[in-house]
Amino acid sequence: MDNNQQFRYIQITSAQEIPDGERLFFEVDGLPIVLYALNGQYFATGDECSHDGGPIGDGEIEGNEIVCPRHGARFDIRTGKVTRMPAVTDIPSYPVQVTDGRIEIGIPLIK
């Protein structure tokens, strides 16, 4: 995520609707996204493996990593950074904020 990037925040759900350890799948502007609730924090990444383009959100979570269910590539759900091959390219990561009990995801503004 580019620290200079600007975002528009979109309300996704109530914080009460996604219990700790769960995920929520949704699309914004055609972008498949997974919202993760882990240890009282929320994170969001793209739901597409950079290795083969398949969905990644159904994979196992190990620590702070999501494991691709097809070929075992791993990504840090906090940053989208690839942590294990066969993927070599990061996946998108989106900022998450909670406002008045509602979870909001930041979608990058096009410059």
Mean pLDDT of 83-100: 97
Is 35 a domain residue?
Answer: yes
The model's pLDDT over 48-87, given as tens digits with 9 standing for 90+, comes to 999 999 999 999 999 999 999 999 999 999 999 999 999 9
> Which residues form the domain of 54?
7-108
pLDDT band at residue 110, thresholds of 50, 70 and 90?
confident
Asked if residue 57 belongs to a domain, the reply is yes
- Phi then psi for residue 15, to 5 deg, are -60, -30
Residue 62 sits in a domain whose CATH number is 2.102.10.10
C-alpha angle with apex 35: 33 to 41, nearest 5 degrees? 150
Sign of the CA dihedral running 25, 28, 33, 39: negative
Judge whether 42 lies within some domain.
yes
Does a structural domain hold residue 2?
no
The structural domain count of the chain equals 1
What mean pLDDT is predicted for residues 29-42? 95
Query: Taking the model in full, what pTM does it have?
Result: 0.91
